[in-house]
A and B are shown apart, each in its own frame.
Chain A
Amino acid sequence: MAGSTTKTVHDIFQSMEYGPSSSSSSTAQSWLDQHSRSLGLFIDGKFVSPTGRQSRTVTDATGGSVCTTVCATEDDISASMSSATSAYKAWNDLSCYQRAKVFLRLASVLQKHSQCVSELCELSQSPTSPATLVRLAQYYAGWAQIRDTSMPDWTPRGVVAVVGSDDCSLYSLWLKAIPALAMGNAVTVIPGVATALPSLLLAQLFVEAGLPSGVLSVLTGSDMSLGAQVAQNSQVNYLTYSGNKQDGEMLAKQTAGWGVPVSYSLSLSSVCPLIIFESADIDSAVDGVIETAFKKKREWRWVLCVQESVWDSVVARLRLRMTGMKSVPLLANSDRAVVDAAVQEAQQQGATLIQSCTPPPSGSAYPPTVLCGVAPSCACVVSPPPGPVLPLLSFRSNAEGVTLGNHSPHGQAASIWTEDLTLALECAKSLSVGSVWVNSHSIADPSLPLSGRKESGTSTDGGREGLYQFLRPTQSPPLPRSTPSSVDYSSFGSAESRASIPEGADPSSIPRSYQQFVGGQQKKADSGCTKSVSGPGGAVLAYCPDGGRKDVRNAVEAAAKVQPGWMKKSPSARAQSLYSLANNLEKRGRDIATSIHKQTGLSLEEASKEVELSVFRLYDLAAWCDKERGGVQLLPQSGSALSIPEAIGVVGVILPDRKPILSLVSLLGAAVAVGNAVVMVPSEKYPLPSLEFIQVLVDSDLPAGVVSVITGGRDQLTHALANHSVIQAIWYWGSKEGCQFLQHSCCSPLKRLWLHSEEEEEKQGGGRDWTHPSLLEEIWREAVVWKSLWIPTA
């Protein structure tokens, strides 16, 4: 700090300014020196620096070079993956106790080297408190210890890749890597530039803590493409990403068709509402705003929503508190122009500014700024600019506050301020976000699941809930890997339905024409076209509607209308509806068994068995309805923490060919039990049992629109589901190309995907066993999203 040393005691006595914060980095510097300022890749338990690789420079806050990292190539990925594959077996063969010990030792190694860790994080502009990493290690040591007793029907995925964008935080990256390891997986971490050095150090500390070589590798690269390259390696079983949306989209496109499930945490690009109600402790709320909104490196981007009655009070306090705050360095020089433009535009639209000081005429620093009186339609609210700029909106009633908070494509988190307990809980329930912080903000603890809604991600990290992404049901085989086909994304599923032409059929044996089920009514396809349904011998058994885009649209609209009410119904009411559905199915058991028999050629006896199992399955799910309700989480801080399963919204399901009724009932039941609405597309090959099942739905007391069944071309309907933004999740059984299309096209807007390439599964022995009871939990976990609620108390 130039000039700071020339300040006399008297100068400071008069100005009463704070002194410069001393930031020593000597410990981290000597660690870097020990590695000659050039860190290799961490493969097979050691640093390796293969020759002939490009390097990337990591810079500190002043732009000075700190160290270089190696850019991994295809060879390095293979080396790392083959070591991971063999290490996975050794790691998974250890007892839970032995694995748990590694994490406990890691916690003490981290404490021992906390100075080095903290300085290195600071140097690479990824400030992280070593205490949060220690907490991660200790928390997951516990899960490693009790994995087999508390999740007996689950097996590790195998090799897991954890990818972070350049701006991703160390905590969010390792909130994935550490649980993946604790569950017995081998993990490859592909950090961004800010987290590269701390991640490499952590890998070294893991080895010091006794982690077998190869279980954890860290690969650094020049950009996001490394993550996609790793995903393309056939040894990888699962990839999870944390970071910004643009890089996430790129990753989705590059990994489409490789058969790797990918999940996304896009908290970095999410805008979160901070809502201050008139019943709040205004001073503490303003304090929270000051603390979180103007940081240089923000985990969350905020929009401040203030109830009109306390608007003046909040603004006056913001003014007082912001007086004298220093300008905040922007992350990139180019940000300054963006910030200037956004502020200017807001002012042109009538916004007034609260600014701690006048912005310097140029340069990459900007004073903390509140844009008062902007509206949801302003560009600075739709996509808040980088830097310490906070839009401030007003609302009238409590309900409007919630509406304002929800009216956003994002759904990461919300901070709400009120001393009214009932309001807090009602508001927490109504906000469609993954985390709700009451009278607090930005609390992250590994026991609280972080699960984004809408555009904020598809991954659940933290808590027991976040462990399942790294596990698969023991009885379900791992998903088969594939290589991308040449799919024309723009024309996939766009073939038009064709009207049937008269064939001069025998009038005495015209097959029955079925209708589809949309919004509670039996209907023809909007196009009026039908498709013939053939039996095993090729004979036409029936005609079904050839549904398309408009039928999907009608079904989704009906579903979106009814779903909030369905979700709000009491779980026991939903359970009763499922019991009655089960009873109706039992009544029509013969018809349905016959349809299975006719459609698939299965013996009538076997078909009856499937129907019987389906009835049991519905009973199981009805029973689950009001039993599984998340729970109370225990945090080190004092307060109440809850994790609550909630419905996703509207789910699109492309049903499998196998077990047509059992699979339909299992998926429908699980989705509907937790409060979702479903739009189901029966197997194109075997639609008859589903068409027959429509009668069961007609007789049921499910509200119109909760379940729709649309028949037709699988690709066309897949395309239609993918292109409807109301649909939040798609469960797909079908072609490899269909999987690839969905992965490619469902990243923006983001959907939760559960993809199965049936043909590939058949090649590898048949996919999941629909009759197995453990399937229930797997589907149930797909059907819910988690909300964590944090109410700190004194």
Chain B
Amino acid sequence: MSARNPGIDLDLEWVSKVKVNTQAVLKRAQQIQGRKVGKKQWQAAWLLKAVTCIDLTTLAGDDTPSNVHRLCLKATQPVRHDLLKSMDMHDKGITTAAVCVYPSRVADAVKSLKAANSSLPVASVATGFPAGQTPLRTRLEEVRMAVEDGATEIDIVINRTMAITGQWAGSDFIKTSTGKESVNATYPVAIVMVRAIRDYYLRTGHKVGFKPAGGIRTAQESLVWLALMKEELGNEWLSPHLFRLGASSLLADIERQIYHFVTGRYAAYHELPMA
């Protein structure tokens, strides 16, 4: 995570002046989706970059210490060592950006990572995830407990009741959605959000990060997300301290694509270690 955003006083006039031309944004989204990042080593390099931006996530009701443990170890070695080695990337510290779990599983994750000598951050979705419709007191308590257990990043579900009625809060990162909605991270919405980040940066000099989450499953989509960040905000936003991809199954597809780049063959799922 980059330097903290100290925030500014709420300026609703600024918010009310924002203009968004929907068709222009949709057109831009299509254009970004059509942007080719390149083939061969370009594709491999971009995919590895995507890996380093992943918040490797499990948010299931039946999460236990054992599957969280597997997730943590996968996060520390996201791509098979021999594959990295053949690209000469084995010693470049390729890990995911963080693991992301429910508050009750933070302690398990911290323990697993510590045992594996990893300093990978643990993120948690505290604050009444995914609806956010719990009282402020319990939400704050949830955050405190997750932090006590060792979480260093908290994905807060904002109080949408307050947002919709115009009472906003600041943050270091903004996230498209919880990933649990029927529509989650879409490119047009992301364009509007990252432009708000740019606006805030131009006005205050503070850089806010961006995290799309939900439904990002394919390697190709991860490339589009990176291209979107590069096009709209520039290369500086192409790193885990300003960009995260919230995903669970994405990594498996990326690893298969990398396998194909290295070997020229398509991998069966069992050939690559599971999370």
**Could you give 15 example pairs across A and B, Cβ below 8 Å?**
A9-B88, A9-B89, A16-B230, A18-B38, A19-B40, A19-B43, A22-B39, A280-B21, A283-B199, A284-B21, A287-B24, A291-B31, A419-B19, A638-B23, A792-B23
Enumerate chain A residues within 8 angstroms of B43, measured Cβ to Cβ: 19
Known: A13-B49, A13-B92. A20 touches B24 (CB 8 A): no
- Please state if A9 and B37 are interface contacts (CB–CB under 8 Å): no
Chain A residues, Cβ within 8 Å of B21: 280-281, 284, 417, 419, 439
Residues of B within 8 A of A (CB): 19-28, 31, 35-46, 48-49, 87-89, 92, 195, 198-199, 202, 226, 230, 233-235, 238
- Alpha-carbon distance between A711 and B48 when the two chains are bound, in angstroms: 82
Pairs A-B, 6 closest by C-beta atoms: A19-B38, A19-B42, A12-B45, A284-B24, A794-B22, A281-B21
Contact B45 A9 (CB under 8 A): yes
Residues of B within 8 A of A281 (CB): 19-21, 24-25
Given contacts A16-B230, A440-B27, list 11 more A-B pairs with CB under 8 A. Answer: A9-B89, A13-B92, A16-B226, A19-B39, A284-B24, A291-B31, A313-B202, A316-B202, A320-B198, A323-B234, A794-B22
Q: Does A508 contact B (CB under 8 A)?
A: no
Q: How far is the CA of A313 from the CA of B198 in the complex (A)?
A: 11
Given contacts A8-B88, A10-B45, contact A324 B234 (CB under 8 A): yes
Q: Is the CB of B25 within 8 A of A12?
A: no
- Cα-based distance from A22 to B40 in the complex (angstroms): 11
A288: Cβ under 8 A from any B Cβ = yes
A793 CB–B CB distance under 8 Å: yes
**A10/B19 in contact, CB under 8 A:** no
Total contacting residues, chain A, CB less than 8 A: 40
Residues of A within 8 A of B88 (CB): 8-10
- A291 and B35 alpha carbons, distance in the complex (Å): 13
CA distance A725 to B59 in the complex (A): 74
Residue of A nearest to B41 (CB): A9
Looking at the assembled complex, report how far the CB atom of A328 sits from the nearest CB atom of chain B, in whole angstroms.
17
Contact A20 B38 (CB under 8 A): yes
CB distance from A427 to the nearest CB of B (A): 15
Q: Given contacts A18-B37, A281-B20, A281-B24, are A9 and B235 in contact (CB under 8 A)?
A: no
Nearest chain A CB to B130 CB, angstrom units: 28
Q: Is A348 an interface residue (CB 8 A)?
A: no
Complex CA gap A794/B233 in Å reads 24
Q: Interface SS of chain B: helix, strand, loop or mixed?
A: helix
Structural contact, B48 and A9, CB atoms closer than 8 A: yes
On whether the beta carbons of B28 and A287 are closer than 8 Å, the reply is yes
CA distance A313 to B202 in the complex (A): 9
Interface of A toward B, CB cutoff 8 Å: 7-13, 15-22, 279-285, 287-288, 291, 313, 316-317, 320, 323-324, 417, 419, 439-440, 638-639, 792-794
- Cβ B23 vs Cβ A13 within 8 A: no
Instruction: Output the residue of B26, B28, B45, B88 with the most chain A CB within 10 A.
Output: B45
Contact A16 B49 (CB under 8 A): yes
With contacts A317-B198, A324-B234, A639-B23 taken as known, whether A10 is within 8 angstroms of B89 at the C-beta atoms is yes
| Candidates B20, B41, B199; contact of A7 at CB < 8 Å | B41
Contact partner of B46 among A7, A16, A283, A323, CB < 8 A? A16
Across the interface, A13 reaches (CB within 8 A) one of B28, B37, B45, B234, namely B45
Given contacts A9-B87, A10-B92, A320-B198, contact A280 B19 (CB under 8 A): yes
Nearest CB in chain A to that of B198: its residue: A320
**Chain A residues near B19 (CB-CB < 8 A):** 279-282, 419
Decide if A13 touches B20 in the complex (CB within 8 Å): no
Cβ-defined contact, A18 with B22, below 8 A: no
Q: How far is the CB of B227 from chain A (nearest CB, A)?
A: 8
Assembly CA distance A794 to B27 (angstroms): 9
Select which of B31, B38, B234 is within 8 A of A320 by beta carbon. Answer: B234
The residue of chain A having its C-beta at the shortest distance from the C-beta of B199 within the complex is: A283
Tally of contacts, chain A with chain B, CB under 8 A: 104
Q: What's the Cα separation between A639 and B22 when bound, in Å?
A: 12
In the complex, what residues of B have CB within 8 A of residue A794's CB? 22-23, 26
Beyond A8-B88, A9-B45, A9-B88, whether A18 also contacts B20 by CB under 8 A is no
Query: Which residues of chain A are near B202, meaning CB under 8 Å?
Result: 313, 316-317, 320
B14 smallest CB distance to A (angstroms) = 12
Q: Chain A residues near B25 (CB, 8 Å)? A: 281, 284
**What is the minimal beta-carbon distance from A2 to any residue of chain B, in angstroms?**
16
Complex contact A9–B44 (CB within 8 A): yes
Which residues of A are found within 8 Å of B42, using beta-carbon distances? 12, 17-19
For B28, give the chain A residue with the smallest CB separation.
A287
With the chains together, A751 CA to B261 CA distance in Å?
Answer: 61
Residues on A with beta carbons closer than 8 Å to the beta carbon of B238: 16
Closest to A291 in B: B31
Known: A16-B235, A287-B28, A324-B234. A21 touches B36 (CB 8 A): yes
CB neighbours (8 Å) of A324 from chain B are: 234-235
A338 to B: closest C-beta gap in Å: 30
Question: B203: shortest Cβ distance to chain A, in Å?
Answer: 10
Q: Given the complex of chains A and B, what is the CA–CA distance between A330 and B241 in angstroms?
A: 39
Q: Check if B45 sits within 8 Å of A284, measured CB to CB.
A: no
Residues of the B chain whose Cβ atoms lie less than 8 Å from the Cβ of A284: 20-21, 24-25, 28
| Chain A residue at smallest Cβ distance from B192 | A283
Question: What A residues does B28 contact at CB under 8 A?
Answer: 284, 287
CA distance A269 to B67 in the complex (A): 66
B-chain residues with CB within 8 Å of residue A21 when the two chains form the complex: 36, 38
Of the residues A15, A283, A792, contact of B195 by C-beta under 8 Å: A283
Bound Cα distance from A19 to B47, whole angstroms: 13
CA distance A467 to B42 in the complex (A): 49
How far apart are A273's CB and chain B's nearest CB, in angstroms?
18
Cα(A197)–Cα(B234), bound, Å: 39
CA distance A419 to B21 in the complex (A): 7
Q: A13-B49, A419-B19 are in contact. Are A8 and B41 (CB under 8 A)?
A: yes
The answer for the CA separation of A245 and B252 in the assembled complex, in Å, is 58
In the assembled complex, the Cα of A281 lies from the Cα of B234 at a distance in Å of 20
State the CA gap A18–B36 with chains docked (Å): 8
Q: How far is the CB of A279 from chain B (nearest CB, A)?
A: 7
Contacts of A313 in B (CB 8 A): 202
> In whole angstroms, how far apart are the Cα atoms of A20 and B37 in the complex?
8
Interface centre among A12, A22, A313 (most CB of B within 10 A): A12
Known A-B contacts A9-B87, A439-B23; the reply to A283 vs B198 at CB < 8 A is: yes
Contacts of B44 in A (CB 8 A): 9
Q: How many angstroms from the CA of A19 to the CA of B233 in the assembled complex? A: 19
Q: Which residue of B has the minimal Cβ distance to A288?
A: B24
A283 surroundings in chain B (CB, below 8 A): 195, 198-199
Cα–Cα, bound, A720→B49 (Å): 71
Whether the Cβ atoms of A440 and B24 lie closer than 8 Å is yes
Q: Which residue of B lies closest to A282 (CB)?
A: B19
* A12-B46 in contact (CB<8A): yes
The complex places the Cα of A397 from the Cα of B108 at a distance, in Å, of 63
Residues on B with C-beta less than 8 A from A419 are 19, 21
Complex: A730 Cα to B48 Cα, angstroms: 67
Nearest Cβ on chain B to A12's Cβ, whole angstroms: 4
Alpha-carbon separation in the docked complex, A17 to B231 (Å): 11
Q: Which residues of A contact B36 (CB under 8 A)?
A: 18-19, 21
> With contacts A7-B41, A8-B88 known, is A793 near B23, CB below 8 A?
yes
A19: chain B residues within 8 A (beta carbon): 36-43
CA distance A8 to B40 in the complex (A): 10
> How distant is A720 from chain B, measured CB to nearest CB, in Å?
49
| Residues on A with beta carbons closer than 8 Å to the beta carbon of B87 | 8-10
Chain B positions within 8 Å of A638 at CB level: 23
Pick the contact of A12 from B22, B23, B35, B41 — CB < 8 Å?
B41
- Distance of A379 Cα from B149 Cα, bound (Å): 67
- C-alpha gap A11/B226 in the complex (Å): 17
Complex alpha-carbon distance, A22 and B39, angstroms: 8
Q: Which residue of A lies closest to B227 (CB)?
A: A18
CB-based contact B89/A13 at 8 Å: yes
CA gap between A19 and B38 in the complex, in Å = 4
Q: How far is the CB of A355 from chain B (nearest CB, A)?
A: 16
Give the CA-CA distance A323 to B24 in the complex, in Å.
22
Which chain A positions have C-beta within 8 A of B41? 7-9, 12, 19
